[in-house]
Chain A
Amino acid sequence: MIRYIIFAPLVGAAINWFIGRRVRKEAFISWVACLAVGVSTVVAFYLAFKQGGALTSDAVPGVAPVTDHLWTWLNVGGFRADFGFAIDRLSGIYVLFVTFVGLLIHIFATGYMHDDPGFYRFFAYLNLFMFSMLTLILADNLLLMFVGWEGVGLCSYLLIGYYVDRKEAGDAAKKAFVANRIGDWGVVLGIMLVFFITSAAGQGSISFFDKPVQGVTSALQTIAHMPVESFGWGTLFAGGITSAAILLFIGATGKSAQIPLFVWLPDAMAGPTPVSALIHAATMVTAGVYMVVRCSAIYTHAPTAMFIIAIVGAATALFAATIGIAQNDIKKVLAYSTISQLGYMMLACGVGAFVAAIFHVMTHAFFKALLFLGSGSVIHGMHHEQDMRRMGGLKKYMPVTFITMLIGWLAISGIPIFAGFFSKDEILWKSWSTGLFPNAGKILWAVGALTALLTAIYMTRLMVMTFWGKERFAEEDAGGQADEAHAHAFDEGEKPHDAQLPSAGDRAHHEPGEHVDKGLDEHDEDLTVHAGSGGHGHGHGPFKPHESPWVMTVPLVVLAILSTLGGLVGIPYALSSIVGLNVPNYFERTLEPIINNPSESGESVRAEGEPARPQMLSKEPQPHDGASPLSVGEGAQNEPHTERVATSGEVSQERLFTGISVIIAAIGIFIGWTVFRKRPLKEMPRLLENKYYVDEVYDAALINPIKVGSREGLWKLFDVGVIDGIVNGLGRGVTEIGRVVRHLQVGFVRSYAAIILFGALAVIGYFAYYIFKMAGH
């Protein structure tokens, strides 16, 4: 069954690529693309919720996923990789929101990409992306997962560079590809190392699951039975579990845009907005989190790696949030917000709260897709204006977009009831209460809380600048126009900070041939294109923003509902008990059994008898099904019943921290509102607006040295000097020898005959001499 989920989008991509490009009917292409994803969605929901499905309570938790073995892919020596898929609860949750959010975004895109000359190409890529992403999620071994991993990287490249006539888009695509490639290097090595580690244990495997029929054992189970590695920097390079964990995490930093490889994600906004929503917010960028959680057995055995992940995650979260506060491009703000939220997820992984990480992945997929699609709707309504300084007062013109984005704003800020609140709060609480590194956990919490404050501030700024205040688009200065292109050029600090409005100097990045359609009215016609200019004309001059068509608003509404209610599946016990519903955390209970292989690793940990580690580790692999978020202290450990109840002290502490989170969010919104409501164009610190000059630093420290080294060293010195020198030298030598030897060629046949004769006589004489000599003896 699972194969239908995966291959439906591939078929859709093929149809659009081969047939859609000839038909060129938008309706046909839209239907094919959306139906393909629709099939995946339906099958995914069926598999998840049918009798005994992956996410139903009567499924055997974690141990026996729904599998679909297609064929044996590689079977060389002891190494075996199957082309097989599996749904357990983790991939079940992933596949549900990937297909569903993907479907909504496909529908949205049919409106957003209307009249684009590359319509078929766009949807073929988008479907291909769905295929790759689903392969990544549903693969039952690391190598097949890596196929999907590369596939999404490829599709990301293709879609970022979708506007092929824009240099920024091409550059951004290459940047994304290269940054991901650095990470992929880590993944490949990590996979090899996992195989070596399991081979050393006698059960070489890269499979996630036990597959008795094929005689495959789970690599994760094997590792879960190994002793936990000690905490220390030495283990990083020891070639053991910690090394494998770190190598895999390097891949995650690339794919999930963590420090130091996050630089590609902001630039990736050069792609069309639905792409940003689907790939660079909701699904692909969470692949790194997925991998870490999927390999939780590896990570729980590598405390050093966990610590590094937590630090990197927290640092990324704070770093990106501070940048996000100073960006003026609506999509850039959301891009940095995405990086920041991904940092949260990594932080959760690092402190061992894998379930909270996945929970945040899910809610983030809802509200960030909502925010991105909302921004897409705004951009569409503003005729491809992305600079928030030219917006303002849009709520009057785009009521549906406004309301839905309002919900997204509340969700990401962490206002109760909305989805982001529960997941973010859980991450913060887990950071505080982590048993892995209790002291560092407090600092991590503080960083996370500060990030939450900043998140509320920059999102409020975005909302205020976009939907409230003066209608700044009306007072557009002549000649000033912005497009997606300008927004993605490096704004190398030449933005006029003091200007009330960005002046024309800010907008040097016009694409040629865009000065058309002046004075067209605000309807879709003015989005018709001069083909080849990237597909977006620019209505220009006085205009009114307009609300988007229903294909765009309906997905917004659905996502808004999900962003509102989606968090309710993961209400922690501490909160539900307030209102008298003593239900444990449903989401956590669902996922907990499959995180780091129940029981066995716990036993191995205990057997090892290390004093510090077992306490924190056996928290995840508890033998009692469904340790709740509260099960942090040792007291929780010994609770025998499955539906464990936390001690009242923990509950009250968690409630306290929930209260703090709410207060932080409220303060953030208050600050944002008071500051930016009055002065929406308030200038931001230049350091932040210029993203801490990270791109410049990378250019100076890495890219330029490589370029110069390649040009001066590899090219001019080595290639021209050594390689060419050898080849040319050989040629020259042969020429010289020939110049001497050619004098033998006198050109007279009889001389040649004479030479042959004398040669023959010489040979004969030589032999005759020896024969006589031998005869003489």
Chain B
Amino acid sequence: MNAVPHLSWYLALSAVLFTIGVVGVIIKRNVISMFMCIELMLNAVNLTFVAFSSYFRDVTGQLFVFIVMTVAAAEAAVGLGIIITIFRNRESLDVDDANILKL
């Protein structure tokens, strides 16, 4: 029987995914890409939750995952709505074009 992967594997994967998300949000200009990176971060966190849930034999972590997924769905709907509106107004998906909220 194969050994169950150690917890640190999951955590490492999660950290990698999260870092990719963070870096993506910072360096990407395309708003859709940024959005996807945010989703990536959320799912990295979800992975952590599930890993710990399995590790501690506690179902609470999985419950949190469901909540996060719900929020993520809602956020996706709202976020895409905003993106569509920005695109209609600016004919562009570059976030640096949406910069009037300053000075």
- Which residues of A approach B to under 8 Å, CB–CB? 742-743, 745-750, 753-754, 757
Contact = CB atoms under 8 A, between A and B. Distances in A.
B25 A753 contact: yes
Specify the main secondary structure of chain A where it touches its partner: helix
Contacts of A742: 103
B26 A757 contact: yes
Contacts of B98: 749
B1 interface: no
B72 interface: no
B95 A749 contact: yes
Nearest to A744: B102
14 contacts: A742-B103, A743-B103, A745-B103, A746-B102, A747-B99, A747-B101, A748-B95, A748-B96, A749-B98, A750-B25, A750-B34, A750-B95, A753-B34, A754-B26
Given A749-B95, A750-B29, A750-B95, A757 B100 contact: no
A747 B25 contact: no
A750 B22 contact: no
Given A753-B25, A754-B26, A747 B103 contact: yes
Nearest to A742: B103
A757 B26 CA distance: 9
Given A757-B22, A757-B26, A750 B103 contact: no
B26 A748 contact: no
A762 to B, nearest CB: 14
Interface residues of B, number: 15
A743 B102 CA distance: 8
Contact of B100 (A747, A750, A753): A747
A749 B28 CA distance: 10
Contacts of A747: 99-103
A742 B22 CA distance: 26
Contacts of A757: 22, 26
Given A754-B26, A757-B22, A757-B26, A749 B103 contact: no
B31 to A, nearest CB: 8
A748 B22 CA distance: 16
B96 A749 contact: yes
Contacts of A745: 101-103
A414 B20 CA distance: 114
A739 to B, nearest CB: 10
A93 B40 CA distance: 98
A760 to B, nearest CB: 9
A745 B25 CA distance: 18
Given A747-B101, A750-B26, A750-B96, 9 more contacts: A746-B102, A747-B102, A748-B96, A748-B99, A749-B34, A750-B28, A750-B95, A753-B26, A757-B26
Interface in B9-64: 22, 25-29, 34
Nearest to B102: A747
A737 to B, nearest CB: 15
A745 to B, nearest CB: 4
A747 to B, nearest CB: 3
A754 B34 CA distance: 13
A538 B99 CA distance: 78
Contacts of B25: 750, 753
